[in-house]
């Protein structure tokens, strides 16, 4: 706990800006000072992106399938002789 507090105090004392002194990459320096979109504009952009929607559907299907299989596995194993 003491180490965490010491580390937090050092972080607060040493970090004085929200941006690094040099750009992290060429793409970040090319963006420059472009204004960021608002929340609803970003949400609209994400929800109209076909690649994101496919990814969202596939991950949702995967999580649902895994959850269903975990639920049914116990019932299948009880028939073979395993107990809960």
pTM: 0.50
pLDDT tens for residues 49-73? 999 999 999 999 999 999 999 888 8
pLDDT tens for residues 5-43? 999 988 888 887 777 777 777 776 666 666 778 888 888
Cβ–Cβ under 8 Å, residues 45 and 37: yes
C-alpha–C-alpha distance, residues 8 and 14, integer Å = 10
C-alpha–C-alpha distance, residues 51 and 6, integer Å = 44
Q: How confident is the model at residue 82 (pLDDT cuts 50, 70, 90)?
A: confident
> What separation in angstroms does the CA of 15 have from each of 20, 29, 34?
10, 21, 24
Cβ–Cβ under 8 Å, residues 23 and 29: yes
Residue 36: per-residue pLDDT:
76
What token pair was written down for 46? 């994400």
């Amino acid at each position: 706990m003491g180490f965490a507090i010491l580390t937090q105090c050092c972080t607060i004392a040493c970090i004085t800006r929200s941006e690094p002194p040099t750009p992290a990459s060429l793409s970040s320096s090319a963006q420059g000072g472009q204004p960021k979109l608002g929340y609803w504009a970003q949400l609209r952009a994400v929800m109209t992106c076909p690649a994101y929607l496919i990814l969202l559907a596939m991950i949702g299907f995967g999580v649902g399938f895994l959850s269903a299989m975990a639920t049914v596995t116990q019932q299948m194993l009880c028939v073979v002789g395993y107990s809960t």
